[in-house]
């Protein structure tokens, strides 16, 4: 299979994302990871724009020797000379010259005629060739440029020495069929097109950057310009990880490959996200937190039986250790049972079913279920005492005099109800339980702790109660610490009641 050249512009176009400015040290750190990722070209920056950008390109050119290092320049002598100076130490330097060609840019931005555009573009490419052998030219806003004029420009810059011609969809205006047709037009009408690589650079304003890039590859483009996590100006650029994994996963359709080490994708994504401060949306393709996560019980069951039922890629291919089974209210028994076993518990079927039912009740209250939550439920089930009394309802009035109103169920039909005042809500609860059960306990110890983090954390309450010279312990878990406290105290009182009944 032929290889598609991956031109990474995270450090140039990607840095243009509002709020994503990087200092030279951070740029070098990302460049090192891009080298490990094994991209073909790193566009390190736009040297003329600032001393910091010049220094960044220079630093990267000195250290990163196994990847082609590129610097951007307008079709202006001083830009090109500055880029050449920054790239002086590079082993494989490339100067990327650009000039707008669309009618709207010619009329309102450049105020130049077509002939002037071609003349300036040719002059810029020739000037760049004085410094490097590898020159790329981009007719900015190519997707909105008249096709006939674009053919003229591309042919002229190739004659002038451009080794790569990039066809940018600068404002994300193109759609796949149109963009592919434009690439085909250039292939069929530019007489010297075989003397240069056809590259594409797509923006995501309509959410079509990756689709347009892939359509262009299918039409004959052999270089794709993209960024890690799809960051970039406005809505961003074509996402590197999506392009690479689309080519790898659907090589049957595209017939191309890349030299990218896909197992480094996740590491690269995290480094870029961390240094730019641009968070990755949870449902982002390939690198989003949900990309290899399954919460639906139907999906979990399918994936656990055969991964390919709901996954077209292996998480290991991009550097993730495994598929993520997310336990929540939509999860089924299969996924829950697997997680319980992974946690080291081998529960009998009956106990597993009871714990699963408690899990479902908890999942309706909590957005995220952690492993600690599951372990707490298991321990709660294992320590569950056969009970005479079951908490049916609980209401607290925390006014000047706290009052607890409680109903307890005995068996299937009998309900006990009463309310009592206390020194505080917990004291009122314990006194009301004493009143309802007829068992007076003396509280020796009481503690509450959060099992997990967050506002909806599962709370665990523990009590130690003395009744007639004997000590009894009780514990319970709930997202409501008041409820957990009531259940823990009732758990201890049930132990007393069971003991008395046996006697």
Domain 2-276: state its class.
Answer: alpha beta
Instruction: Please list, residue by residue across 461-479, b when 16 or more beta carbons sit within 10 angstroms of its beta carbon and e when fewer do.
Output: bbbbbebeeeebbbbbbbb
Q: What is the pLDDT of residue 470?
A: 84
Residue pair 167/199 in contact (Cβ under 8 Å)? The answer is: yes
Tokens 């000590």 appear where?
A: 471
In the CATH hierarchy, which fold is given to the domain comprising 389-502? Double Stranded RNA Binding Domain (3.30.160)
Question: Which burial class, exposed, middle or buried, applies to 123 when counting CB atoms under 10 A from its CB (0-12, 13-18, 19+)?
Answer: middle
- Tens place of pLDDT for every residue, the chain, 503 residues? 799 999 999 999 999 888 788 999 999 999 999 999 999 999 999 999 999 999 999 999 999 999 999 999 999 999 999 999 999 999 999 999 999 999 999 999 999 999 999 999 999 999 999 999 999 999 999 999 999 999 999 999 999 999 999 999 999 999 999 999 999 999 999 999 999 999 999 999 999 999 999 999 999 999 999 999 999 999 999 999 999 999 999 999 999 999 999 999 999 999 999 899 898 998 999 998 888 776 666 777 776 688 788 788 988 999 987 666 566 777 778 878 877 887 777 788 888 888 888 778 877 776 667 666 777 777 666 555 557 898 999 999 988 899 999 999 998 789 999 999 999 999 999 999 999 999 999 999 999 888 766 666 778 888 999 998 888 888 888 888 899 899 989 988 988 888 777 66
pLDDT confidence of residue 160: 98
Place of tokens 């709207």: 104
Residues 229, 280: contact at Cβ < 8 Å?
Answer: yes
For the chain, the domains span 2-276, 293-382, 389-502
Buried/exposed code over 391-416 (b: 16+ C-beta within 10 A; e: otherwise):
beebebeeeeebbbbbbbbeeeeeeb
Domain 2-276 and domain 389-502 have a common topology: no
3-state SS, residue 429? helix
Beta bridge partners of 168: 201
| 63's tokens | 């250290």
What share of residues in the chain are helix, strand, coil (percent, to 5)?
45, 20, 30
Those residues whose C-beta lies under 8 Å from the C-beta of residue 291, and which sit 6 or more positions away, are 283, 284, 285
Helix (H) or strand (E) holding 265: helix 265-276
Q: How far is CA 496 from the centre of its chain?
A: 52
């Amino acid at each position: 299979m032929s290889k598609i050249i991956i031109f990474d512009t995270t450090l140039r176009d990607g840095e243009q994302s509002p709020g994503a400015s990087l200092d030279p040290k951070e740029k070098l750190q990302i460049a090192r990871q891009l080298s490990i990722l094994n991209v073909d070209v790193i566009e390190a920056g736009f040297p003329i724009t600032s001393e910091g950008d010049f220094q960044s390109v220079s630093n990267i050119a000195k250290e990163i020797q196994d990847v082609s290092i590129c610097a951007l320049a307008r079709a202006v002598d001083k830009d090109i000379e500055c880029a050449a100076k920054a790239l002086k130490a590079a082993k494989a330097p490339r100067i990327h010259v650009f000039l707008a060609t669309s009618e709207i840019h010619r009329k309102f931005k450049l105020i130049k005629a077509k002939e002037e555009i071609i003349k300036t573009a040719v002059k810029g490419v020739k000037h760049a060739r004085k410094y490097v052998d590898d020159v790329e030219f981009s007719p900015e806003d190519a997707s909105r440029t008249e096709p006939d004029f674009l053919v003229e420009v591309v042919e002229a810059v190739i004659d002038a020495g451009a080794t790569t011609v990039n066809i940018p969809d600068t404002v994300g205006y193109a759609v796949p069929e149109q963009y592919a047709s434009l690439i085909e037009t250039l292939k069929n009408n530019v007489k010297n097109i075989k003397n240069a690589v056809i590259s594409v650079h797509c923006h995501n304003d309509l959410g079509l950057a990756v689709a347009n890039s892939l359509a262009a590859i299918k039409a004959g483009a052999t270089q794709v310009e993209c960024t890690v996590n799809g960051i970039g100006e406005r809505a961003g650029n074509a996402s590197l990880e999506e392009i690479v994994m689309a080519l790898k996963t659907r090589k049957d359709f595209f017939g191309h490959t890349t030299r990218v080490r896909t197992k480094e994708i996740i590491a690269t994504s995290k480094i870029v996200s961390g240094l730019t401060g641009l968070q990755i949306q949870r449902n982002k393709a390939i690198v989003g937190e949900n990309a290899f996560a399954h919460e639906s019980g139907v999906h979990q069951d399918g994936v656990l039986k055969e991964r390919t039922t709901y996954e077209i890629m292996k998480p290991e291919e991009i550097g993730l250790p495994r598929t993520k089974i997310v336990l929540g209210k939509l999860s089924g028994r299969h996924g829950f049972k697997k997680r319980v076993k992974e946690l080291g518990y081998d529960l009998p079927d009956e106990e597993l079913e009871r714990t699963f039912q408690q899990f479902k009740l908890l999942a309706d209250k909590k957005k995220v279920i952690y492993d600690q939550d599951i372990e707490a439920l298991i321990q709660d089930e294992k320590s569950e005492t056969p009970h005479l009394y079951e908490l049916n309802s609980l209401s607290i009035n925390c006014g000047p005099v706290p009052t607890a109103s409680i109903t307890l169920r005995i068996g299937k039909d009998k309900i006990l109800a009463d309310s009592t005042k206390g020194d505080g809500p917990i004291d009122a609860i314990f006194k009301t339980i004493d009143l309802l059960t007829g068992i007076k306990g003396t509280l020796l110890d009481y503690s509450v702790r959060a099992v997990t983090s967050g506002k909806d954390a599962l709370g665990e309450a523990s009590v130690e109660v003395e009744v007639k010279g004997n000590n009894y312990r009780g514990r319970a878990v709930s997202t409501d610490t008041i409820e957990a406290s009531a259940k823990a105290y009732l758990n201890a009182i049930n132990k007393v009641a069971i003991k008395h009944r046996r006697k």
